[in-house]
Structure 1
């Protein structure tokens, strides 16, 4: 593709058309000149072009787990595998990775980011991007910048000092730009110091493009453009999604008023064409059909990735790895039976398949001749679990339901206000489609040529419970709607429904009810009817035909369930208690209100530990949770969200098929009140639409150390079935340009082969400005056989000695002596040395 030749063929109206997307997942096409580029959500999978009835995809471990691996090779290989997934779905641009600094564990999208530390964050991101782009698929590094909470995310202003902005929040972007050169970047929704980043010329024009020399294409987050001339002048190339709201005719008017000039349009269009050239060179066809990949090799890689992101946090009694000689295994907990592969929001997708912890453990048990018994023990859901595995289409053996659409009410009493569905015959629908799930976000996958946005919808299916008893049902909708069970109204969301957080804040609250006396194996009619007229009038920021979420679970007595779980634990040789969060609690669109485990989880843990002190606790969450029982728990595993192969990955670690080697990329605090951002996060510490980053540069472990606060688990901490010894620290002299190296020996002092993450920190006790006690500046992951020793080297640059001097608006490495600290975590420092920089170095840019 010759960009100049293509550019010369474009008229000004065609150039203006290219400045905004076409629909949700494509750029505009100019027939016979410019094809449409296809984009898709990441970061832990490639959904493709549909939320509703989309093509399944592989789900990879969440980013906080990948960051905890400290494994650049794994991150690169995940990127390569995601590129293959993109190719299968005809996707040229993956909207990933997310590299926002995890400022608080409450952040709804914390699981999407790699770390609280900018060096680890940027280094893993660069490896991921290099892997992805090595196969021709463009990465889109996001969300630039200081997009760290979901509360008022479209309008909130992150009020952050220049030094903290540079050292903490811009730094991971800077590292990735320097080391991987992503082809695209996405701006954030929020403002920084009063100005929306999508129109901030200093951030995206001066710093990103000029100071860092980055040459890629910049797009908005979806519906994240709030101006016309300002965003174009600042350097924002592409408004997403389409159809345009802030460009198109508004650009024409800005040209007439000379707020914009043709040269401004030309600059933006050239960047879009440069991305198009990458798309063409990838060999991925334009407008290709969507497919998925499911091979033995991919399944094995997903399993490896799941295991390699698991952190062993406690193993006091050496219960792990579990013995093959156990004959009875109790699997307990709300996260055991369901495979929670990912957090919620745009990162969530329909997995090609899943392996739950119970299934993974069951496979091992079968191989060793052990018996597995399961007890839920406690509920952990916010919304009731989806009913996907219990539903079947009417008149068919196929799973799922039928969804029908009308443009006008198909009967006078369509929503049956009297609470009883009549036998009236509905008129012929305008369009219908089967679906497999009970969570239908109808923002796509609907035939727009036949169905109006303002429409009437019927969702009908047969529900067959697997347990007799009383069942709870819960529903929320985007629109107004009712749920009928065997033709009787059981949930009314058609009469002034209260707005809630579902469907990115577009849906109602979740309303729940109880249906008594259900029989296992009997099929019951379930029907949902909704009208989207009020929903449309409310003003969705994007095209959407509404939404339906239906959940249900057999009601059980919480205290009795705990008693049953404790009894099972007492009778079993081995107990695996799987607890944690899920996408109900960690999701785009809202922040967590606290770091507590949900429901009766904590009483369940305490009861099971009393019954069997050798219980293995597996916690699954994307970010830290409080653990009031931690001192009584001798064994603890942190599993994050592990993707498709979550259950097999957990089983591999528990039985020692995989020796755990990950270390937490986030500090686990004892209390929420100890977290650095606690006084000013979400709706706390607000000041007229501003959130004050009062902690400055003291984010994550930097804050706990400067305040001398004890943590539950420090940054960089993780155990292994091996033991390691560090020795013989050597440092080279610091060159005039600030480069030097750190070398040391690591020995595996056990009889088990393993891998160790060694971390290099730098301390600057003589700095002219306040600095953290120490900062991570490098790391290496080394594989060692039993009793094997290796000498490893970490090369460092002036950056390792530097801070950002807001007085001079530049980076400074001040002359003087620095401490080099090498250890197994931020708190476990095993080797120390000193280096000296002879002369001060200052610079700007990369």
Structure 2
């Protein structure tokens, strides 16, 4: 069957009931079921939020790692985000995928959310426009579908599978559903993924109100709804409300015998009509992939052929445009290549600060560290001092090792067996051999026909050689979902098998066990790990095959290291101090416990700032961190997680090859206690109370006149901009705005983000001080002025959700339009009137 005759109606008539049921659940982790009899192919979906991993975590085909969500939103650049989305679709083609499980567009209620880095903003309009832009890019050619997630209120990960989000209808509409509404209105995503949590007592994946009521009836959207992985909790309710397909397979709730039995039960009121509705939408999803390719024979080959200079250029541009200049009080930036520069800090020379963790993690094509980026820029080696460590657990070991199996590749030899080492014969051959080059070996999705499917038990010997760069004490670490023994030169070094303890924070697998040994520079040490799959452990988490995390650091006296950093800072003209978080701290499944930066980072920063005031602090995190040294810092750059090209992108900004133009996509409180969700950002007795209601982010800080470190929409440049000539006119339906922006500097061509807010001056109910309603990024040469024009609808600019009427309300009255450079930097304003009150629903 070809695309020319892929007729959904005809197929619906030909499908048996059993075949229809197969189509509404996945075949495996990433593929839909095929019905070969009728030429209906299987489709592949792939994570994710900041790149397209393909179908496996373990031994994955390397991919392009994009900047994280808050970084992309901080570009405030629709065209650039669409370009990134298009690049994601190209990546999907190279991973044999027809749908991308992203973008993520949940709201940052507070700074500690596990996947806050993965989403776009605290503001629903910015999140919605960012989502729509990326979806438009992904679906530009029609060959790849976007999956907007997680629908809805998956804004923390604490007990996320059962947590009940208690939220008012007004907050649900004005804040949490808005990004999805904008995505549907502007980009029509082909897929939407439901969240794990409940809303007001009902799981989102079986909510008639959300799926049928809002998505289908009100918004008239007819795409395919899928659950988050293992996020289906029923058979009848989920099918009846329109959850079209259950992931992953094999199914838990949609087995043929179960569904057929329920179809015959009048008490359950499940009809073949409900099955048909879900099946039809799955077929429409498949039809779009088939017709865009002209074939039902899909190529599922995964490759790295998109690792090109063009890909790197786009990723580098996106990372640089998202970087936000927070302070430049002494005009230390931009730096000169002639400056005497020292680089300090734990984030400068690590690769795992390129992205957050969980579904966002991947094996990247390559990663340019900050230190490498700076050295690439200046053309020579730079003095570097780590100062302190900021890891959660040890890593970066396999990446530096060599092996006998393939000496041309970095990594260790992994040999797979059915028996533990003590039960094997001397000549027993492994059933699989691989070279593993990442210290986090996530094997939960590893499969092999040689593994006993009833027990899931198998074993791996990881072995290779480590050569220390210096003589000294080294600490090795090992944790596992499963069991693990580590040997050095044949002697047991770490036992993470005999008496395992649960990891206290991560709650997946065992606690990290460590050992310290003295090593000599240049000497080759043979390291071996005997690992057993998850089922071999008494702590079994029943999460696939299991995992192992290993690592090493050189042990140093932290006081001495901070002093070394101070001495280096004193002996150079300029300091680049790289600190922050990484994917070990911001990761799916685990909200942050504190807003502080880990380890002794704050002590390091304070000491270096005292030693050299010409210090540029570069912070990396996906969401805000506390900065107790902020008042002492004159120069501060926030760089997020920049993906493959993070190091070069940061260097581009620091040295002025790119003028910073990013603006904060979320407010930056001084401390966690200041944020609106502080008292309610956890699940308590099964529920999480959205007590801040509509007052999320800057809406809260402005209403309470609470100071923040940096406001929403804030970001500096290497030049200055002047706003003049605001003109506003309103009729019964629309609002037309124009203003002039001038680059008043004489040196740099730069980009300014003009932000348009609207305030209700005499509302009948409590409303925010103002709300973002439009923005535009404009590039200006030195001295150049441009007129920027906006066209807003009155309904979307001025309405609130009226819970009494259960509809949106455009309320008659006086309003103010405000134009500025951030939420706290309003340059121009003008009043306008809305003459008639109107209630409405829909897009």
TM over 0.5: yes
Q: Which residue does 2:180 correspond to in 1?
A: 173
SS at match of 1:21: coil
Shift of 1:814: 0.6
2:722 counterpart residue number: 725
**Residues 104 and 150 in structure 2, CA contact (< 8 A), matched pair in contact too:** yes
Per-residue CA distance 1:235-276 (angstroms, 9 max, x = gap): 100000000011113212211214322111111000101110
- Distance in structure 2 (CA, Å) of the matches to 1:835 and 1:642: 41
Give the distance between the partners of 1:689 and 1:639, measured in 2 at CA: 36
The Cα shift of 1:448 comes to 3.3
Q: Which residue of 2 aligns with 1:780?
A: 776
How far apart are 1:532 and its partner, in Å?
A: 2.9
* Preserved CA contact (<8 Å) 2:624 2:668: yes
Name the residue aligned to 2:282: 272
Offset at residue 395 of structure 1 (A): 5.9
In structure 1, what is the equivalent of residue 344 of structure 2?
Answer: 332
1:29, distance to aligned residue in structure 2 (A): 1.1
Structure 2 counterpart SS, 1:578: strand
Distance, in Å, in 1 between the alignment partners of 2:355 and 2:449 is 30
- Corresponding residue number in structure 1 for 2:61: 55
* Residues 455 and 532, structure 1, Cα contact 8 Å, conserved in 2: yes
Q: Is the 8 A contact 1:54 1:445 kept in 2?
A: no
Report the Cα distance in structure 1 between the residues aligned to 2:772 and 2:546, rounded to whole angstroms: 47
The 10-residue stretch of structure 1 (482-491 or 207-216) with the greater mean CA deviation from structure 2: 482-491
Shift, 1:536, TM fit: 7.7
Q: Give the CA deviation at 1:643.
A: 0.6
| Contact 2:395–2:439 (8 Å) recurs in 1 | no
Q: How does 1:654-733 map to 2 (within 5 A)?
A: 654-683=654-683, 686=684, 688-733=685-730
Shift of 1:324: 3.1
Alignment check: 8 A CA contact 1:187 1:221 kept:
yes
Shift of 1:487: 1.9
Shift of 1:499: 2.0
Provide structure 1 residue ranges, at least 5 long, that are not aligned to the other structure: 415-423
Match of 1:376?
386
1:749 pairs, out of 729, 744, 754, with 744
How far apart, in 2, do the equivalents of 1:564 and 1:227 lie? 59
Q: Distance in 2 between matches of 1:105 and 1:18?
A: 40
1:88, distance to aligned residue in structure 2 (A): 1.0
The residue aligned with 1:420 is none
Matched, 1:118 2:124: yes
Match of 2:3 in 1: none
Distance 1:342 1:182 in 2: 25
Structural mapping, 1:442-453, within 5 Å? 442-450=443-451, 452=453, 453=456
Correspondence 1:253 to 2:254 = no
SS at match of 1:56: coil
Contact kept, 8 Å, 2:405 with 2:413, in 1: the verdict is no
Q: 2:413 aligns with which of 402, 425, 436?
A: 402
Partner of 1:794: 790
Q: Confirm whether residue 88 of structure 1 aligns to residue 83 of structure 2.
A: no
Deviates more, 1:700-709 or 1:278-287: 278-287
Change (3 A) 1:536 1:59: same
The superposition leaves residues 580-621 of structure 1 with CA deviations (integer Å, 9 ceiling, x where unpaired) of 100110000100001101101011111111111010110011
Query: What is the Cα deviation at residue 506 of structure 1?
Result: 3.4
* 1:523-534 alignment, distance < 5 Å: 523-532=524-533, 534=535
2:301 corresponding residue in structure 1: 289
Match of 2:826 among 806, 824, 829: 829
> Closer, same or farther in 2 for the Cα pair 1:106/1:308, shift >3 Å?
same
1:81 and 1:505 mapped to 2: Cα distance?
35
For 2:694 and 2:141, how far apart are their aligned partners in 1? 37
- The 1-side partners of 2:405 and 2:68 are apart by 39
The change in CA–CA distance for 1:760 and 1:557 in structure 2 (over 3 A counts) is same
Aligned twin of 2:609: 609
In the alignment, structure 1 residue 508 sits paired with structure 2 residue 510? yes
For 1:583, the equivalent position in structure 2 comes to: 583
Within the candidate set 491, 497, 502, 2:500 is matched to: 497
**Distance of 1:238 and 1:521 partners within structure 2:** 55
Instruction: Select the residue among 755, 759, 762 that pairs with 2:758.
Output: 762
How far off its partner does 1:432 sit?
2.9
Distance 1:41 1:767 in 2: 44
Distance 1:337 1:324 in 2: 20
Q: Partner of 1:152 in structure 2?
A: 159
Question: Counterpart of 1:585 in 2: which secondary structure?
Answer: coil
Q: Report Cα offsets for 1:643-687 as digits up to 9, x if no partner.
A: 10100000000011001101000111011000000001125xx2x
Per-residue CA distance 1:680-733 (angstroms, 9 max, x = gap)? 1125xx2x2001000000000011111111000000000001100001111012
Q: Does 1:311 align with 2:317?
A: no
1:275/1:449 CA distance change after superposition, 3 Å: farther
Name the CA distance, whole Å, in 1 between partners of 2:406 and 2:225. 48
Instruction: Tell me which residue corresponds to 1:418.
Output: none
- Residues 556-575 of structure 1 correspond to what in structure 2 (within 5 A)? 556-575=556-575
For 1:501 and 1:35, locate their aligned partners in 2 and report how far apart those are by CA, in whole Å: 44
SS of the equivalent of 1:781 reads: strand
Q: Partners in 2 of 1:672 and 1:540 — Cα distance?
A: 32
Say whether the 8 Å CA contact 2:324–2:639 is kept in structure 1: yes
Contact kept in structure 1, 2:395 and 2:440, CA below 8 Å: no
Structure 1 residue 9, shift from structure 2 partner: 2.5
Give me the whole-angstrom Cα distance separating, in 2, the residues matched to 1:434 and 1:642.
27
Structure 2 distance, partners of 1:657, 1:717, is 21
- For 2:473, the equivalent position in structure 1 comes to 470
Q: Which residue is equivalent to 2:30?
A: 25
- After superposition, residues 593-604 of structure 1 pair within 5 angstroms as 593-604=593-604
Q: CA deviation at 1:288?
A: 2.1
Unaligned runs of 5+ in 2: 1-5
Taking a change above 3 Å as real, the CA distance of residues 506 and 89 of structure 1, as seen in their structure-2 partners, is: same
1:71 paired to 2:77: yes
- 1:14 is aligned to 19
Describe the SS at the equivalent of 2:36: coil
Shift of the alpha carbon at 1:520?
1.9
Aligned to 1:506, the other structure's residue is in SS state coil
Residue 445 of structure 1 deviates from its aligned partner by 4.0
Shift of 1:451: 5.5
Task: Find the aligned partners of 1:389 and 1:15 in 2 and give their Cα distance.
Answer: 46
Specify the SS of the correspondent of 1:27: coil
**Aligned alpha-carbon RMSD (Å):** 1.6
State the distance in 2 between where 1:659 and 1:832 align: 28
Q: Check whether the contact 1:501–1:590 (CA below 8 A) recurs between aligned residues.
A: no
For residues 382 and 208 of structure 1, the distance between their equivalents in structure 2, rounded to whole angstroms, comes to 40
The 1-side partners of 2:23 and 2:34 are apart by 8
Give the conservation status (yes or no) of the 8 Å contact 1:401–1:437: no
Does structure 1 residue 438 correspond to structure 2 residue 467?
no
Does the C-alpha gap of structure 1 residues 449 and 216 become closer, same or farther in structure 2, counting only changes over 3 Å?
Answer: farther
> 2-side partners of 1:380 and 1:60: how far apart?
23
Are 2:661 and 2:752, in contact at CA under 8 Å, matched by a contact in 1? yes
SS at match of 1:16: helix
Q: Residue 349 of structure 1 aligns with which residue?
A: 362
Give 3-state SS (helix, strand or coil) of 1:732's partner: strand
SS, match of residue 594 in structure 2: coil
The change in CA–CA distance for 1:582 and 1:758 in structure 2 (over 3 A counts) is same
Cα pair 1:505 1:589 within 8 Å, conserved: no
Report how far residue 458 of structure 1 moved.
1.9
Which stretch of the first structure deviates more once superposed, 370-379 or 135-144? Answer: 370-379
Give the secondary-structure state (helix, strand or coil) at the position aligned to 2:603.
Answer: helix
Q: Sort the Cα spacing of 1:296 and 1:428 in 2 relative to 1 into closer, same or farther, 3 A.
A: closer
The Cα offsets for residues 389-436 of structure 1, whole Å up to 9 and x where unpaired, read as 321113652321222223233424x8xxxxxxxxx8373333332222
